[in-house]
Chain A
């Protein structure tokens, strides 16, 4: 157990950022050794929001356990559910109807945009600009409305079932999604005017928290945090699931490795998500929204692994089945945990204000780290 109060032997100050701190956006506890304003060491302490989700899943059936994962990375709840549903489908070898696949992918991308919107606002707030938060929430609200109509919930949608989605889309769904695309496109220039182009913002972001491609790989970073360093790791491209291999979109890569590169990756990813939705929204095929499955699902004995690309990176679901109605063991590979581990490496030697910016660009969601 490290010292969390007082000073170190070298005379450096120890500061506790969290578990309650405005910049951690959750109950993350960072023990920072600091010399004046310069950071010497960052030590994350976890466990404040550990709910034993993996253990809980072992006592839930294959239909039920999906919905617990909404509470991991609550900002991409839908994508978490998707990963679990895919893993179960893999085990049972269920053929998912095309309509359901289309709906799932559209929902995934909407969730990704909503998550990036919230990240954008919260990160600007970490840097001291309050206004972008409200502008981001204006767009996010439209997505939440769409979700509410179709799924019945706004944040933890619980829309996935093994074999498809829980119910068909709302008749208004397509119209509203198109309206949202219009809204997003017309408002996006405001984002660049307000934040991206701002000279103070750029000075805070560029050459700050530089993560090299080698380090990104060795720390196991994924998602925009790794793609900002030029590491190609988009699961949708490398291990395509659902209909992603038939879609036209680019994997956004930046080579800077600094906070600004990670920022630009997320901004451009929103555009790619819009591009994906545009390809699908008019072509949702007719048919079932759910495959016919047995009432009680039993995975065959064995091990099953499925990975998906959430808004934060690679989420892996690993199920060990003994052939019963509940999983024998479940393990989640969450993107936030690996991305957090890189924080100490990139924060050393920078200023305290930059630490907040780095945490912002790594886009940490604490319940995802702790589970």
Chain B
């Protein structure tokens, strides 16, 4: 059967027979890098048009409908416009940091692509601390935002960056703890093993109520971590005009914009992997016949289907809720989400030790 892992395998075989193994590995790295960059660009285009269509659907209007069939090429046209637009650097700005910040944002987003399993046996780097790696690398994102806000020499940017710093550092805790509660069940941080452990049912169904609680907390926390509404205090266009990227224009702005969308994709992919089984088809216990039918749907479709469902949920949040205030935002994390996550992880540990999960 045609699958992504087979294509990857064929390329690997062909390279190894044509070149010596060192050169083959080098070429593979380059190919993988190019693939990540292309996926990056593609995701940006797809998610932007998706967001605009989803928001239009929620807001009883049509959305973009002029460029291409049903406006599907609108984000292409926007990208073209951003590419040819002048990237201004304000006079008072710290030139070096100002220009570096958007690249850090993008590099972080790219690094996060590494441990994600896009399909069965189709993964760039199946390192044994996959979940920890994701938590660790995603917290570098705050540095790029702080850098952008600080170097812009703009008070709005500075306030946006400071808000974002407080926010991301706080919500990292809940996101990490909710992922840990599933790690407690699987006993492994490795992405492939977490997925494999869900072959008889996804953790959100197998882990009783604590798993559902940690899924909800995870969704709230990652929405905050990616600075999406209702937690978009770093941007808060009605308060801070555009927050930390007020002074950015052209492609430098586009990189921040792109990084935001790719981050949304990545956190949703992690959520789908840990809670909804990643590429694992929908299996129910020992129903052999049912499980077999589900296996006919390719694993990449399962993965992208789940991920885009979660992305849709995050977009749905954005176009429904008003924004929180900064003190309410921190109260929510430190007074509600964090204690709940801690109790939840204790419950989950008890369940894992007593073997109550399915």
Contacts and interface: CB of A to CB of B under 8 A. Distances in A.
Interface of A: 13, 15, 21-23, 37, 124-131, 133-135, 138, 194-195, 198, 200-201, 203-204, 351-356
Interface of B: 55, 58-61, 155-156, 159, 163, 229-230, 232-233, 236-241, 319-328
A13 B324 contact: no
Contacts of B61: 134
Given A15-B155, A135-B60, A138-B60, A201 B238 contact: no
Contact of B230 (A125, A128, A131): A128
23 contacts: A13-B155, A22-B241, A37-B326, A127-B238, A128-B229, A128-B232, A129-B321, A130-B59, A131-B58, A134-B61, A135-B60, A198-B321, A200-B322, A200-B323, A203-B324, A203-B325, A203-B328, A204-B322, A204-B324, A352-B239, A353-B325, A354-B325, A355-B239
B325 A129 contact: no
Contacts of A201: 322
Contact of A353 (B156, B241, B323): B323
Contacts of B156: 15
Given A128-B230, A131-B59, A198-B322, A356 B238 contact: yes
A200 B318 CA distance: 13
B60 A134 contact: yes
Given A128-B232, A129-B320, A204-B328, 20 more contacts: A13-B155, A15-B155, A23-B239, A37-B163, A37-B326, A126-B238, A127-B238, A127-B323, A129-B322, A129-B323, A130-B59, A134-B59, A135-B59, A138-B60, A194-B320, A195-B322, A200-B328, A353-B236, A353-B323, A356-B238
A70 B334 CA distance: 51
A160 to B, nearest CB: 34
A277 B155 CA distance: 49
A154 B60 CA distance: 22
A213 to B, nearest CB: 26
Contacts of B325: 203-204, 351, 353-354
The 7 closest A-B pairs by CB, nearest first: A128-B323, A127-B322, A129-B322, A134-B59, A353-B325, A23-B238, A126-B238
Contacts of B60: 134-135, 138
A129 B239 CA distance: 13
Contact of A128 (B163, B322, B327): B322
A154 B273 CA distance: 53
A203 B320 CA distance: 16
A207 to B, nearest CB: 12
Nearest to A7: B155
A195 B321 CA distance: 8
A353 B239 contact: yes
Nearest to A16: B155
Given A134-B61, A351-B326, A22 B321 contact: no
Contacts of B55: 130-131
* Residue among B55, B58, B241, B325 with max Cβ neighbours from chain A (10 Å): B325
A13 B59 CA distance: 38
Contacts of A203: 324-325, 328
A197 to B, nearest CB: 12
Contacts of A134: 59-61
A209 to B, nearest CB: 12
Contacts of A355: 239
Given A129-B320, A138-B60, A353 B237 contact: no
A196 to B, nearest CB: 11
* Residue among B59, B237, B320, B322 with max Cβ neighbours from chain A (10 Å): B322
A37 B328 CA distance: 13
A351 to B, nearest CB: 5
A126 B237 CA distance: 8
* Residue among A135, A194, A200, A201 with max Cβ neighbours from chain B (10 Å): A200
A130 B239 contact: no
A96 B241 CA distance: 49
B238 A128 contact: yes
A130 B155 contact: no
A343 B237 CA distance: 21
Contacts of B159: 37, 352
Contacts of B233: 353
A65 B328 CA distance: 50
A134 B59 CA distance: 6
A128 B59 contact: no
B321 A200 contact: yes
A200 B230 CA distance: 9
Contacts of B320: 129, 131, 194
Contacts of A129: 320-323
Contacts of A194: 320
B156 to A, nearest CB: 7
Contacts of A352: 159, 239-240
Contacts of B324: 200, 203-204
Contacts of A133: 59
A15 B233 CA distance: 17
Contacts of A13: 155
